[in-house]
Amino acid sequence: MLMQTKEQQGLSRSQFPTDFIWGVATSAYQIEGAHDLDGRGPSIWDTFCQEPGKIADGSSGQVACDHYHLWEQDLDLIASLGVGAYRFSISWSRVQPLGHGAWNEAGFAFYERLIQGLVSRGIAVHLTLNHWDLPQALQEQGGWLERQTCEHFVRYAVEVARRFGSRCASVCTHNEPWVIAVLGHELGVFAPGFKSRAKAMLASHHLLLSHGMAVRALRDAGLQTELGIVLNLSPIYPASDSPADVSKARLDDGLVARWYLDPLVKGQYPQDVLDHLGSDAPAFSAEDMRTIAQPLDYLGVNYYTRNFSSTGNPWDVHSTGNEVTDMGWEVYPQGLTELLCRLHQDYAFPRLRVTENGAAFKDVLADGAINDERRESYVREHIRATKAAMEQGVPVDAYFACSLLDNFEWASGYEKRFGLVHVDYQTLKRTPKRSALWYRQFLQG
Ligand code: FCB
């Protein structure tokens, strides 16, 4: 039994609506492993990991947490924490190795087992269709730079929904399209590794368009499940109050947030960002914009930290003196409250969901236990920040801690641990950390 600390007092589950969704999140490539089993085709992340120098520790998701084999114990773990909802993604190339054409029944069988396992444990299914791992075969045809990929995505979405949709509490089209577009196509630090702003913006347009096309197709197919998209969002503050920094912060917010939010809600790209992009802006039609702006049931918000912009390098670390995580990200729970309030005010989605929130810290395994007080405090304070937004009238109905497990942290490999549950990568043994035990205690009321 963990002792209640002073700060913990004043926060309890009973302060949230009884139907508030409490969950944990993962994604396919980060945990599944089994990269070439049972007919799975390669994804762009399998390819990217093979390029020297791309992944900090030279690793890949080939084995990861071997969730493909250990899924049952992972579901038991989720149930044992008292968590009512699980957000995970489907590996597109596991169920359709080429991203078009034949379906892979063995791949679908894995997700069938997983979803049955969740339903039988009373855990709500929150399914993401695309958490970055595009089938490599589609990349070879141009990937997100090609409009045809949107058509393939829609067929994949409809097939997944046909099989699983009625058992899902929600379906999300894309996780963090900005990351795919910018880290993957402009900065080259994520798959597929391009370095072109024009490519990034074109990819972002096709991601948004494929989202709208998929939502429309799923609704036309009669799917009743809640539909949404998940964005990575942070308040962006000017590093100083100089007019140049203030306008830079506004532009950066335009590139990261408004570029996605405005089309989703208003059916148009922000004019200041289009002007800034000039010839790097994608070509699009009025019809595209109408397609993107499908009514959604919720917006998923992934929040980790805030950002500062300056006319110097916009992503320079701006030290505020606050604690930072192992990613170098400032711990700033108030940013989540502000963000949720701003989103509600400017965009008024029917519901907002915190679909990811969590922190990497260097954990020490001592006597079989991980005393990750800082992660516990991070999660607790962000839950409190969520509550603060709700008290201001913002319709937030879910919080997902990320991640359930330590896992393959993309370009950081296995060096960064975000899990509430520790994974020993030699033995694959799972050990709930103090933060997981705190979450369980919180959920038990
Ligand atoms: C988000 C990703 C998630 C995880 C966290 C730390 O951008 O959606 O998979 O890597 O960052």
Distance 303 CA to ligand 1 centre (A): 9
* Cβ count within 10 A of residue 221: 12
406 lines ligand 1 (CB under 6 A): no
List the CATH number of the domain containing 133: 3.20.20.80
Residue 24, domain member (yes or no):
no
Q: Which of 195, 356, 317, 186 is nearest to 259 (CA)?
A: 186
27 lines ligand 1 (CB under 6 A): yes
Q: Which of 307, 346, 339, 338 is nearest to 324 (CA)?
A: 307
For the stretch 169-181, pLDDT in tens is: 999 999 999 999 9
Distance 15 CA to ligand 1 centre (A): 28
Residue 5, domain member (yes or no):
no
Which structure tokens are listed for 359? Answer: 């922190």
* Prior bond of 192 cis (ω within 30°): yes
For the stretch 379-407, pLDDT in tens is: 999 999 999 999 999 999 999 999 999 99
Burial level of 445, CB count in 10 A (0-12/13-18/19+)? exposed
Q: Which of 42, 26, 30 is nearest to 107 (CA)?
A: 42
Min mean pLDDT across 6-20, 81-95, 282-296, 400-414 is at 6-20
Q: Which of 147, 127, 167 is nearest to 209 (CA)?
A: 147
For the stretch 214-255, pLDDT in tens is: 999 999 999 999 999 999 999 999 999 999 999 999 999 999
Which active-site residues does the annotation give? 176, 356
For the stretch 255-265, pLDDT in tens is: 999 999 999 99
Number of structural domains (the chain) is 1
What's the average model confidence in pLDDT over 110-138?
99
For the stretch 315-352, pLDDT in tens is: 555 678 999 999 999 999 999 999 999 999 999 999 99
130 lines ligand 1 (CB under 6 A): no
Q: H/E element holding 397?
A: strand 396-402
CB 75 within 8 Å of CB 114: yes
The whole-angstrom distance between residue 157's C-alpha and the CA centroid of its chain comes to 17
Tell whether the model's pLDDT for residue 314 goes beyond 90. Answer: no
CB 391 within 8 Å of CB 403: no
Given this model, what pLDDT does residue 445 score? 87
89 lines ligand 1 (CB under 6 A): no
Residue 2, domain member (yes or no):
no
Residue 19, domain member (yes or no):
no
Residue 438, domain member (yes or no):
yes
Residue 3, domain member (yes or no):
no
Given this model, what pLDDT does residue 1 score? 45
Which structure tokens are listed for 422? Answer: 């520790």
Which structure tokens are listed for 358? Answer: 């969590």
Which residue, chain included where needed, has tokens 């408004």? 258
Residue nearest to atom 9 of ligand 1 (CA): 27
What's the average model confidence in pLDDT over 111-128?
99
Residue 349, domain member (yes or no):
yes
Question: What value does the CA radius of gyration of the chain take, rounded to a whole number of Å?
Answer: 21
Distance 359 CA to ligand 1 centre (A): 10
Q: Using most ligand atoms within 8 A of CB, pick from 189, 410, 412, 414 the residue to mutate for ligand 1.
A: 410
Q: Using most ligand atoms within 8 A of CB, pick from 176, 178, 361, 414 the residue to mutate for ligand 1.
A: 176
CB 128 within 8 Å of CB 87: yes
Top-confidence residue, 359 or 310: 359
Name the pairing type of β-strands 21-25 and 396-402: parallel
Residue 1, domain member (yes or no):
no
Mean pLDDT taken over the chain: 96
Q: H/E element holding 115?
A: helix 105-120
Distance 287 CA to ligand 1 centre (A): 32
Q: Which of 253, 232, 261 is nearest to 402 (CA)?
A: 232
Query: Interior CA angle at 381 toward 432 and 310, to 5°?
Result: 115
Tell whether the model's pLDDT for residue 44 goes beyond 80. Answer: yes
| Domain span at 413 | 29-443
Distance 310 CA to ligand 1 centre (A): 25
